[in-house]
Amino acid sequence: KAGVTQTPRYLIKTRGQQVTLSCSPISGHRSVSWYQQTPGQGLQFLFEYFSETQRNKGNFPGRFSGRQFSNSRSEMNVSTLELGDSALYLCASSFFGTGDNEQFFGPGTRLTVL
């Protein structure tokens, strides 16, 4: 069974630009969660999508948004990038949803904002 894939793996953007990250979950998983990891703040929950609906949301500004498609693939968008958005963005998939069972993580997308 193929694991969680994330594209692109690395990305360099400049302040003010926007970026879209993609996550393909394990086949059959309907839940996709997104996390931001930085040295200062650690791993922080962004949001979770389940069957195309945002089910949970973390404490991030509206510049961070996401969506999920009917095939469970998910995209995350960050608009008006700031230097502080530089981070490793991880997505995780599971069958039932966030927290109540094992989350399978992708390798992450390393975003650098210059």
Partner 1 sequence: SQQGEEDPQALSIQEGENATMNCSYKTSINNLQWYRQNSGRGLVHLILIRSNEREKHSGRLRVTLDTSKKSSSLLITASRAADTASYFCATLLIQGAQKLVFGQGTRLTINP
Residues that bind partner 1 (CB under 8 A): 4, 33, 35, 42-45, 48, 55-58, 88, 90, 92, 97-108, 110
Residue with tokens 């961070």: 64
Nearest residue (CB) to partner 1, 20 versus 107: 107
Rounded-to-integer distance, Cα 78 and Cα 94, Å: 23
CB of 81 to partner 1, least distance (A): 20
| Nearer to partner 1 (CB atom), residue 59 or residue 70 | 59
Among candidates 52, 54, 6, 1, which has minimal Cα distance to 30? 52
Q: Of 39, 37, 17, 22, which Cα lies nearest the Cα of 73? A: 22
Please, what is the minimum distance in Å from the beta carbon of residue 52 to partner 1? 17
The smaller minimum CB distance to partner 1, of residues 16 and 84, is found at 84
Distance CA(45)–CA(10), nearest Å, equals 20
Closest C-alpha to 11, from 111, 114, 113: 111
CB of 36 to partner 1, least distance (A): 11
Q: Which is nearer to partner 1, 19 or 92 (CB)?
A: 92
